[in-house]
A and B are shown apart, each in its own frame.
Chain A
């Protein structure tokens, strides 16, 4: 069971004040901490679990600069066998379609039974790279996958639908599965683990090696402007010392008739 997992490094934005950059095309990232995209963390864990059960290899792949190798090293420490980084220079030139083409081009020449992506990335919330790759590579696919069992050259998958419903399908391999959070419990990675994994292969491929024309990579969806959310009335904030806040809190609950 050879599995390729596409991963992305994203900024941590919870409990952080985001600032729009001067070109209004993105946010200032120099003060932000970066992590492996949450969905991809589950995807790489799932690949490693399947490898542990069925044998085979796990390859992690990303598109990005040297800093992005940090998430590949994390994947290697978790148990991936090797990693590939596609060096594409200034990433703001590309849209998700362009990224999907680069990944597809590299994945095509790798041995695989399964390709995983996360359902989404925490930054742009695009959620399209995986299924675009499935179409480009002519692979069977399932989205929002919350369970996988391998049986006779097929993957029995559960996809999460709205309202607490799951859809069970039988997907012929090779296939591309977009992995949803919660499918497993991603393992802990220690600093020592990352240091040990430094010996594993991390291959860098330059975009120019891939034979994709500039024209093919010209973005078709373009961010015109990013901005902070429009002001809304918002919540009435309970202010004062904790005791005052607690009194106001109880008063609201009493008024709403839930203090019994």
Chain B
């Protein structure tokens, strides 16, 4: 029997859903292999957060200190490394989030443990651990094994595991003294800034016509705007369009943009990276238009049109206008 660590992620006083998802998976593995689940919580004045996960873990280890008020990967790394040394957990689960992506590789080097990132499943057999991942934008899956080690660090993709409680647990709360009060910090948190403010709120739209990399050129964007106008819908987009500055950030759907929940979501020339799909899980019906039949978007869409968007989108627009007139 050993411990499975889940590094709790929270921001601005609120727990992040990825924490529940990791606790669910750790709980499932713990049941199958007689392990226990330990949530590790670093922060300041985090009692309510500790309480919110107390029925999902066997133990919640809390480091509560003024210096932990803001996330700092180095302080997290040193604190968790100390705890790993002390408890020798089999697995350490960290969210594959912006913060987790900074923390996990540093911790892996510091603690000398193997790492697999962005895992979508974990299989444990006897003493061996297999992590399931995706490569090549989700077009290929892979199973990753590890050289024998006392423990393994896995970062977990958001949204792949349930947010539910699993099993019957009542956590023992363990408050630990923050061990690094004098650790010099060479990175100072300044502030959070809103990067996606704008005058159109795509989260409220009933119908979104969303454009992706397949549009090719900035000059082609009106093609999609015209379809949206014909439908009285709102234009949104995927990340590459914002990266190229063709549309503003506040129209971006996905992990780093907005999560949307329209009745109908029409994805035009969007291949369907998981960061994008995470933003449309609340959409009623998804219609995807893409010329690549293997595009991952077709795996989650309800309806698909496999065609050259430059040919089909004008036809769709004309049909919509014709129908509305008629």
Bitwise, B166-204 to A at CB < 8 A (1) or not (0) is 000000000000000000001111111111110000000
Q: How far is the CA of A260 from the CA of B286 in the complex (A)?
A: 18
Chain A residues whose C-beta falls within 8 Å of the C-beta of B232 in the assembled complex? 260
B33 proximal to A (CB < 8 A):
no
Contact between chains at A164 and B324 (CB < 8 Å): no
B56 proximal to A (CB < 8 A):
no
Q: How far is the CA of A10 from the CA of B307 in the complex (A)?
A: 27
A85 proximal to B (CB < 8 A):
no
Contact between chains at B130 and A131 (CB < 8 Å): no
Number of A-B contacts defined by CB within 8 Å: 290
Contact between chains at B138 and A229 (CB < 8 Å): yes
B118 proximal to A (CB < 8 A):
yes
Comparing B22-30, B34-42, B294-302, the segment that makes contact with chain A is: B294-302
Cβ of B7 to closest chain A Cβ, rounded Å: 15
Contact between chains at B233 and A258 (CB < 8 Å): yes
If the complex has contacts A164-B196, A170-B188, A250-B320, are A230 and B141 also in contact, measured as CB distance less than 8 A? yes
Contact between chains at B213 and A14 (CB < 8 Å): yes
Task: Tell me the nearest residue of chain A to B197, going by C-beta.
Answer: A164
When the two chains form the complex, which single residue of A14, A132, A222, A252 contacts B292, counting CB atoms closer than 8 Å?
Answer: A14
Contact between chains at A171 and B305 (CB < 8 Å): no
Q: How far is the CA of A253 from the CA of B323 in the complex (A)?
A: 11
Residue of A171, A223, A228 with most chain B CB atoms under a 10 A cut-off: A223
Contact between chains at A236 and B303 (CB < 8 Å): yes
A256 proximal to B (CB < 8 A):
yes
Chain B residues whose C-beta falls within 8 Å of the C-beta of A230 in the assembled complex? 141
Bitwise, B254-266 to A at CB < 8 A (1) or not (0) is 0111110001100
Cβ of A176 to closest chain B Cβ, rounded Å: 10
B124 proximal to A (CB < 8 A):
no
Chain A residues whose C-beta falls within 8 Å of the C-beta of B295 in the assembled complex? 15
B315 proximal to A (CB < 8 A):
yes
B73 proximal to A (CB < 8 A):
yes
B105 proximal to A (CB < 8 A):
yes
Task: Tell me the nearest residue of chain A to B9, going by C-beta.
Answer: A162
Cβ of B95 to closest chain A Cβ, rounded Å: 10
Comparing B46-54, B61-69, B83-91, B236-244, the segment that makes contact with chain A is: B236-244
Contact between chains at A182 and B147 (CB < 8 Å): no
Cβ of B78 to closest chain A Cβ, rounded Å: 11
Cβ of B267 to closest chain A Cβ, rounded Å: 10
When the two chains form the complex, which single residue of B108, B213, B300, B305 contacts A237, counting CB atoms closer than 8 Å?
Answer: B305
Q: How far is the CA of A230 from the CA of B144 in the complex (A)?
A: 16
A37 proximal to B (CB < 8 A):
no
Contact between chains at A238 and B305 (CB < 8 Å): yes
Cβ of A58 to closest chain B Cβ, rounded Å: 21
Interface size class of B (residues with CB under 8 A): 35 or more
Chain B residues whose C-beta falls within 8 Å of the C-beta of A224 in the assembled complex? 130, 142-145
Chain B residues whose C-beta falls within 8 Å of the C-beta of A167 in the assembled complex? 71, 98, 189, 191-193
Q: How far is the CA of A253 from the CA of B11 in the complex (A)?
A: 39
Contact between chains at B316 and A246 (CB < 8 Å): yes
Q: How far is the CA of A125 from the CA of B139 in the complex (A)?
A: 12
Bitwise, A122-158 to B at CB < 8 A (1) or not (0) is 1111111111101110001111101000000000101
Bitwise, A32-62 to B at CB < 8 A (1) or not (0) is 0000000000000000000000000000000
Cβ of A144 to closest chain B Cβ, rounded Å: 5
Contact between chains at B147 and A220 (CB < 8 Å): yes
Cβ of A52 to closest chain B Cβ, rounded Å: 19
Chain B residues whose C-beta falls within 8 Å of the C-beta of A182 in the assembled complex? 239, 242-244
Q: How far is the CA of A14 from the CA of B307 in the complex (A)?
A: 15
B31 proximal to A (CB < 8 A):
no
Q: How far is the CA of A102 from the CA of B16 in the complex (A)?
A: 36
Contact between chains at B147 and A218 (CB < 8 Å): yes
Contact between chains at A258 and B193 (CB < 8 Å): no
When the two chains form the complex, which single residue of A141, A219, A235 contacts B302, counting CB atoms closer than 8 Å?
Answer: A235
Contact between chains at A245 and B305 (CB < 8 Å): yes
Starting from the known contacts A221-B146, A224-B144, 9 additional A-B residue pairs (CB-CB under 8 Å) come to A162-B97, A164-B258, A167-B192, A235-B288, A235-B304, A245-B312, A246-B318, A258-B233, A259-B323
Question: Which residues of A pack against B, CB within 8 Å?
Answer: 11, 13-15, 17-18, 20, 27, 97, 100, 119, 122-132, 134-136, 140-144, 146, 156, 158-172, 178, 181-182, 185, 218-230, 232, 234-238, 242-243, 245-247, 249-250, 252-254, 256-260
10 residue pairs, one from A and one from B, having the closest CB atoms? A164-B196, A235-B304, A182-B243, A246-B319, A131-B105, A143-B102, A220-B114, A235-B301, A135-B109, A128-B105
Q: List 22 A-B contacts (CB under 8 A).
A: A14-B292, A125-B137, A128-B104, A128-B115, A131-B73, A141-B187, A161-B97, A162-B16, A164-B194, A164-B195, A165-B194, A166-B194, A169-B190, A171-B186, A178-B102, A182-B242, A182-B243, A235-B303, A238-B305, A249-B303, A256-B284, A258-B233
